Amino acid sequence: MKQRGVTVWFTGLSGAGKTTISQAVAEALRSQGCSLEILDGDVVRQNLTKGLGFSKEDRDENIRRIGFVSHLLTRNGVIVLVSAISPYREIREEVRQRVGDFVEVYVNAPLEVCEGRDVKGLYRRARLGEIKGFTGIDDPYEPPLNPEVECRTDQEDLSQSVAKVLNTLSNLGYLSNQLVAIEN
């Protein structure tokens, strides 16, 4: 079965659950033989965009580069799962236009919940002034206005979030209905 390529873009604050949900979606898709790639913001910054800082210009360039790779993979029939804070609405929209087959997933959790999940200690360091320009603290996060999926990770469990993503991909014609039925 030839699959249709799509970029599934998980955006949200640090600690909202982007990586967790994208990894669970990847597991479900791989179990059904789907061809996919995961582009995680932290991993991309260590490799593809090493050397970029956290100014607005550098963040935008980071997202453009991820978007470029996503576009190449998507047009070749790969499902691309991107997990990146991508705080600015305008650059996310630019990437959407470039990629075309694009599904935005807003991984939404209140700031206080994300701070409570802060396994890396980044929020604490930002609150102490050790990290400047930290998204949600002293740099803005612009939530999507019309995401295809919204996962409220403070109100739903992982399986519910995964089901929302898979059902949306199916409804938009990226997955067969059999795949979604198996996962639900």
3-state SS of 107-176 is EECCHHHHHHCCCCCHHHHHHCCCCCCCECCCECCCCCCCCCEEEECCCCCHHHHHHHHHHHHHHCCCCC
| Count: domains in the chain | 1
User: Residue 177's pLDDT is what?
Assistant: 58
In terms of Cα–Cα distance, which of 125, 49, 51 is closest to 85? 49
CATH number of the structural domain spanning residue 60: 3.40.50.300
For residues 101 and 169, the answer to whether their CB atoms sit within 8 Å is no
Active-site annotation, residues: 86
This prediction has a pTM of 0.90
Q: Provide the residue range defining the domain that includes 59.
A: 6-110+143-178
In terms of Cα–Cα distance, which of 75, 76, 52 is closest to 63? 52
pLDDT in tens, the chain (184 residues): 467 899 999 999 999 999 999 999 999 999 988 999 999 887 877 777 677 777 788 888 889 999 999 999 999 999 999 999 999 999 999 999 999 999 999 999 999 999 999 888 989 999 998 988 889 898 899 999 999 999 999 999 999 999 999 999 999 989 875 544 444 4
User: Residue 181's pLDDT is what?
Assistant: 46
For residues 150 and 161, the answer to whether their CB atoms sit within 8 Å is no
CA 24 remoteness from chain centre? 12
User: Residue 183's pLDDT is what?
Assistant: 47
User: Residue 184's pLDDT is what?
Assistant: 47
